[in-house]
């Protein structure tokens, strides 16, 4: 009898508790013995707490802590299942890679707390804009991935993306600070552009950067042609960096001419890339890429030092010769630029009056103390400042008031249009304005005697272009100057 009772109230419950320890879903019934019931109850609470903690860890491992959205891990898992489902149903879906435009400016100017607030509110807006059966994840600082399914045509998909970007742009993302955020989106498609996370992300990333290049605040679909262009740029990027080490760059010099005396008054230093086999790579191909990826800073430093080194020889022979050197905005805004420039001027014993730095209008987009200070410091050194390609970008008279420049260069596009009424009005207005502001003016891209005669009569005194000479290597340029000097004196 005692054995039966022990088996019923002790042995069997303990066996069930042991099974419960391995199989948590097999919960033993309530026990008669108080001690056994206490053990059972404790085990139930422990396993429940462990189960809750496991679920919380699982959820946290797949949730972005700042935005509350799914994270990269959750995206990869969702995408794997979605690809499997789409494979069975032979359906496609769109993979959107969204990146805020100029979000860094928010963090830099307002602080990371405000930046975090913008991310949280933007995430809420994005969730409200996508449908319940779509998916959204935050995968980086201001980067999001959205999976859109069940769209009928590219037009309807485009309308959805437009609506999403519009909702983000119109939302007030930081209360009274009135911050609105534009975005650029790249789109790839399963299965056309990729059949896994890596390939879809890579293609959408390529398309997103193309949207940035085209002016931001837009979307772009991935294409094979776009990929070929990107691969070419990747190859070109590697090659142009190696070209510095291989000494493949040279400076050519295009004469600047006094239209009244026809004498050479100076030159513009222009970079040329010549491969070992003699092939010349056009600056139109590699300069925009260098500006985009930041290599322009290193390349610009090479140009600056090479030009000043050459000027050291020329200034002793021609004391009034002025050499113009192009300086990119990114290069100019480098913290070390001014100090490096001063050191080079001292190293090569350059007379500042022989140096003209050509800058573009992009420096003027941010009219802050730092930008104006750079221009002021350079002018205090005694060098002159020229505004290149005037009229092609964001030129305005306000720039010329706030940023002192010594010379304005009229772009070739306007010189080519001098015979039209509007073209002539533009050129003559710029010449009159320059006279009023006491600034020199030079015309670029002069190719005919008619253009030169017109400019001279209109009051433009200086020019450069193929009418006088194409950009020349050093030896040919020096020969040209000697011939020009002899012709002028005779």
- Report the distance separating Cα 291 and Cα 297, nearest Å: 8
Of the two residues 111 and 361, the one the predictor is more confident about is: 111
Tell me the pLDDT of the chain averaged across its residues: 87
| Contact indicator for 395, 434 with CB cutoff of 8 Å | no
- Report the distance separating Cα 136 and Cα 232, nearest Å: 32
**pLDDT score at 345:** 96
User: Which segment of 49-58, 349-358, 398-407 scores lowest on mean pLDDT?
Assistant: 49-58
Say what the pTM is: 0.69
- Report the distance separating Cα 179 and Cα 120, nearest Å: 13
- Reported as a single tens digit per residue, the pLDDT across 175-227 is 777 888 899 999 999 999 999 999 999 999 999 999 998 889 999 999 888 88
- Report the distance separating Cα 270 and Cα 260, nearest Å: 25
The structural domains of the chain, ordered by start, are 72-221 (3.30.70.270), 232-488 (3.20.20.450)
**pLDDT score at 131:** 87
Which residue is associated with the tokens 């069930």? 16
- Reported as a single tens digit per residue, the pLDDT across 400-429 is 666 678 998 988 988 999 899 888 988 998
**pLDDT score at 315:** 92
User: Which segment of 89-98, 225-234, 378-387 scores lowest on mean pLDDT?
Assistant: 225-234
Please determine, for residue 370, whether its predicted confidence score (pLDDT) is greater than 50: yes
Interacting residues of 447 by C-beta distance below 8 A, sequence separation 6+: 465, 466, 467
- Report the distance separating Cα 368 and Cα 196, nearest Å: 46
Radius of gyration of the chain (CA): 34
**pLDDT score at 10:** 64
3-class SS letters over the chain: CHHHHHHHHHHHHHHHHHHHHHCCCCCCCCCCCHHHHHHHHHHHHHHHHHHHHHHHHHHHHCECCCCCCECHHHHHHHHHHHHHHHHHHCCCEEEEEEEECCHHHHHHHHCHHHHHHHHHHHHHHHHHHCCCCCEEEECCCCEEEEEECCCCCHHHHHHHHHHHHHHHHHCCCCHHHCCCCCEEEEEEEECCCCCCHHHHHHHHHHHHHHHHHCCCCCEEECCHHHHHHHHHHHHHHHHHHHHHHCCCEEEEEEEEEECCCCCEEEEEEEEEEECCCCCEECHHHHHHHHHHHCCHHHHHHHHHHHHHHHHHHHHHHCCCCEEEEECCHHHHCCCCHHHHHHHHHHHCCCCHHHEEEEECHHHHHCCCHHHHHHHHHHHHHCCEEEEEEECCCCCCHHHHHHCCCCEEEECHHHHHCCCCHHHHHHHHHHHHHHHHCCCEEEECCCCCHHHHHHHHHHCCCEECCCCCCCCECHHHHHHHHHHHHHHHHC
Mean pLDDT score, 337-351 = 95
**pLDDT score at 342:** 96
**pLDDT score at 489:** 45
Q: 217 vs 42, 183, 203, 227, CA distance in Å? A: 58, 5, 19, 21
Q: Measured at the alpha carbon of residue 313, what is the angle toward residues 308 and 316, in degrees to the nearest 5?
A: 115
């Amino acid at each position: 009898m005692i054995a039966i009772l022990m088996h019923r109230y002790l042995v069997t419950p303990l066996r069930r508790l042991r099974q419960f320890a391995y199989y948590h879903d097999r919960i033993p019934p309530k026990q008669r013995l108080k001690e056994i019931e206490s053990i059972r109850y404790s085990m139930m609470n422990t396993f429940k707490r462990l189960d809750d903690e496991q679920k919380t860890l699982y959820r946290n491992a797949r949730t972005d802590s700042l935005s509350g959205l799914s994270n990269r891990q959750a995206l990869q898992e969702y995408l794997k299942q979605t690809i499997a489902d789409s494979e069975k149903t032979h359906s496609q879906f769109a993979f959107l890679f969204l990146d805020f435009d100029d979000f860094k400016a928010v963090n830099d100017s307002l602080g990371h707390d405000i930046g975090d607030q913008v991310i949280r509110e933007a995430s809420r807006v994005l969730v409200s804009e996508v449908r319940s059966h779509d998916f959204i994840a935050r995968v980086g600082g201001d980067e999001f991935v959205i999976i859109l399914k069940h769209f009928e045509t590219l037009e309807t998909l485009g309308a959805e993306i437009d609506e999403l970007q519009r909702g983000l742009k119109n939302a007030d993302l930081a209360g009274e600070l009135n911050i609105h955020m534009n975005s650029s989106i790249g789109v790839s498609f399963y299965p056309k552009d990729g059949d896994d996370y890596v390939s879809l992300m890579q293609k959408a990333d390529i398309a997103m950067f193309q949207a940035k290049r085209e002016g931001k605040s837009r979307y772009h679909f991935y294409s094979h042609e776009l990929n070929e262009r990107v691969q070419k740029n990747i190859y070109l990027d590697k090659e142009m960096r190696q070209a510095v080490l291989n000494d493949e760059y040279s400076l050519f010099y295009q004469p600047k001419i006094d239209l009244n005396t026809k004498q050479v008054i100076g030159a513009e230093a222009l970079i040329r890339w010549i491969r070992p086999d003699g092939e010349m790579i056009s600056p139109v191909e590699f300069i925009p890429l260098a500006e985009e990826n930041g290599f322009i800073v290193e390349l610009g430093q090479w140009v600056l030092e090479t030009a000043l080194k050459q000027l050291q020889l020329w200034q002793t022979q021609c004391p009034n010769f002025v050499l113009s050197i192009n300086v990119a905005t990114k290069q100019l805004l480098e913290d070390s630029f001014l100090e490096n420039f001063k050191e080079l001027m001292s190293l090569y014993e350059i007379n500042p009056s022989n140096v003209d730095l050509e800058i573009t209008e992009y420096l003027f987009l941010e009219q802050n103390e730092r930008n104006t200070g750079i221009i002021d410091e350079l002018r205090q050194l005694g060098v002159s400042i020229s505004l290149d390609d005037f009229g092609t970008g964001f030129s305005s008279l306000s720039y010329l008031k706030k940023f002192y420049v010594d010379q304005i260069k009229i772009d070739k596009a306007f010189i080519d249009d001098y015979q039209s009424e509007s073209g002539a009005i533009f050129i003559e207005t710029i010449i009159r304005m320059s006279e009023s502001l006491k600034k020199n003016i030079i015309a670029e891209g002069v190719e005919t005697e008619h253009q030169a005669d017109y400019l001279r009569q209109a009051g433009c005194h200086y020019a450069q272009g193929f009418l006088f000479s194409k950009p020349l290597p050093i030896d040919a340029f020096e020969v040209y100057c000697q011939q020009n000097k002899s012709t002028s004196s005779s």
